[in-house]
Amino acid sequence: MRYSQMFLPTIKEIPSDAEVISHQLMLRAGMIRKLTSGVYSYLPLGYRVIRKVEQIIREEMNRAGAQEIFMPTVQPAELWKESGRWTFYGKELLRFRDRRDSECCLGPTHEEVVTDIVRNGVKSYRQLPQNLYQIQTKFRDEMRPRFGLMRCREFSMKDAYSFDADAESADISYQKMFTAYNRIFERCGLKFRPVEADTGSIGGSYSHEFLVIADSGEDGMAYCASCGYAANLEKAEIAKPENDVIPREPFAIEAPKLEEVCTPEVRTIEEVCAFLKVRPEDVIKTLVFSADGIPVAVLVRGDEEVNEIKVKNYLGCDVLEMAMDDMIQATAGSPRGFVGPVGIKCRVMADYSLQKLTYVVVGANKENYHWKNAKYGRDFEVEAFADLRVVRETDPCPRCAGDIRFARGIEVGHVFKLGTKYSKAMKAVYLDKNGKEQYLVMGCYGIGVGRTVAACIEQYHDENGIIWPLTIAPYEVIITPVNMNDRDLAAAAEKLYTDLLTQGVEVIIDDRDERAGVKFKDADLIGIPLRVTIGPKNLAAGKVEIKDKRTGEVSMVSVAAVKNFILSAIR
């Protein structure tokens, strides 16, 4: 491609609304342009990268036995009402009515549509397993789209859906996709880690996120360097204590009695500790949640944080949210800030961290009062102890007791074991060997294509611009004659350009009438892996300069050998 003919509107200054480096560089390098909030156009350079990532995805999905289809963006409400997600999904689902007054939505995902396809096409166990995938535009009406392609409203996604006869076969399908995802991201040149994750609004029993390691990532992960365990912070487990709950009886004769203490306007853990001169780990934090409209109290140590995802999963509820003031008053008889487990009128769950506590401070369920010396088994009961808090770096690995470490990452892929969540709701069945109806067992598997490209830039860039891995670079080589008005330089550049094109190399010749410095800056900005510089002094000596963008290594190569040098480097 000739640079002079390319539509490549680069920008020198950093756009004011671009917060992360990938957003900045994709705008500056002329890869994307914003149309409206969270909606972007891909320009030629950016779209070439997108298509390369898509090609890698297609090759690996096909290799794993999946078959490509293409489903509509507009979906009827009836399917979403069958699955129960029409009201559950939330405002991210963009709903509208067509001219026939039928309720529709723009698809944020396609579980309902593909389940409808398969329930009408698969009748017998002999037709299983099946794995169908597409690469298609999705729309999620994010409240705060930001960070360019990292969190936009309209985006390109590869979504695949497996259908199996039983859980054992579904595990095989899941593992095939897990392996394929590892190959995809390896081929894209990314440093990544698969981590255990919560299933969220998609549902199902088990899932892994694929996180690209980057300091700018929105997702936190906890991992063990010893055994390889890894999970995002929502899912990261805390090992159950080896010792059981402290004995309830007999109590020592000198055991301190429960003591009510006036604590006027003392509500937070910090305020309680300062007022009563105790440590945060000697205070129980009691939080009241509404679980599908029913109050539930969750207890954690004062220096810990409740993990709402763990609480929701433990309770098995559809909706978990902090209780409103009226629910707290009805349940505890006091306003927020003075709630405790002694005499509370609801289910009470406690985190493992409370099992070894003896005498603690708790809210007295009475405004401006707390209890001192409260003891589990004597003054209050709990229904169960469970893993209900956020993991910390001081926690041991739940698998091997090794050291837990934290890192940040960008989610680029997610694989789910759905089980029969959608097949039961939508009556997607098949006949087994005995002619009996069974529900299809499903899995789903997504990759954000644009997000993968953005994550690559977050991971690979320098102060001058993007550093593309060769496999997904928009072009492999850029030829930069320092002066196109010099006939010898221009002729050498044109010959090399033609030779490389003949060999199938993706190459740009910068044939603009620009200063060398401008050309070098643009080449660095767009991040082409190999830059061939043709200058008068080197050419007079029969050589050209080749710079590897990733390593910064510069090689002086003879004109006669330059074509083979480049072919060797890229192949």
- Distance between CA 418 and CA 56 in Å, rounded? 25
pLDDT at 251: 47
pLDDT at 203: 53
pLDDT for residue 244 is more than 60: no
Report domain extents, the chain: 3-237+405-458, 259-386, 475-570
One-letter-per-residue 3-state SS of 205-248 = CEEEEEEEECCCCCEEEEEECCCCCEEECCCCCCCCCCCCCCCC
pLDDT at 202: 56
pLDDT at 90: 85
Which of 16-20, 269-273, 431-435 has the lowest average pLDDT?
A: 16-20
Average predicted confidence (pLDDT) for the chain:
93
pLDDT for residue 17 is more than 90: no
pLDDT digits (tens, 9 = 90+) for 449-491: 999 999 999 999 999 999 999 999 999 999 999 999 999 999 9
CATH 3.40.50.800 fits 475-570, yes or no: yes
Q: Who contacts 12 (Cβ-Cβ below 8 Å, separation ≥6)?
A: 28
Please state the separation of Cα 412 from the chain's center in Å.
Answer: 5
pLDDT for residue 37 is more than 50: yes
DSSP conformation class of 200: G
Which of 100-104, 226-230, 442-446, 484-488 has the lowest average pLDDT?
A: 226-230
Quick check: 249 and 435 in contact, CB under 8 A?
Answer: no
Domain 259-386: assigned CATH number: 3.90.960.10
Domain 3-237+405-458: assigned CATH number: 3.30.930.10
pLDDT digits (tens, 9 = 90+) for 180-206: 999 999 999 999 999 998 766 555 557
- Distance between CA 514 and CA 519 in Å, rounded? 7
> Which pLDDT band, with edges at 50, 70 and 90, does 357 fall under?
confident
Q: Bridge partners of 105?
A: 75, 95
pLDDT for residue 84 is more than 80: yes
Report the pLDDT averaged over residues 244-255. 54
pLDDT at 245: 53
Q: In what order do the strands lie in the sheet with 384-386?
A: 320-322, 284-291, 294-301, 347-351, 384-386
Report the pLDDT averaged over residues 391-408. 91
Higher pLDDT, 470 or 233: 470
- Distance between CA 375 and CA 248 in Å, rounded? 9
Nearest to 480 by CA among 527, 519, 513, 507: 519
pLDDT at 476: 98
Q: Bridge partners of 294?
A: 291
Cis peptide before 256 (omega within 30 of 0): no
Query: How crowded is the C-beta side of 140, counted as CA atoms within 13 Å?
Result: 20
pLDDT at 250: 47
pLDDT for residue 228 is more than 90: no
pLDDT at 207: 86
Q: How many CB atoms lie within 10 A of CB 447?
A: 26
DSSP reduced 3-state for 407: strand
Structure tokens at 539: 């050419």
pLDDT for residue 254 is more than 80: no
On the question of a common fold for 259-386 and 475-570, the answer reads no
Nearest to 447 by CA among 42, 28, 167, 56: 56
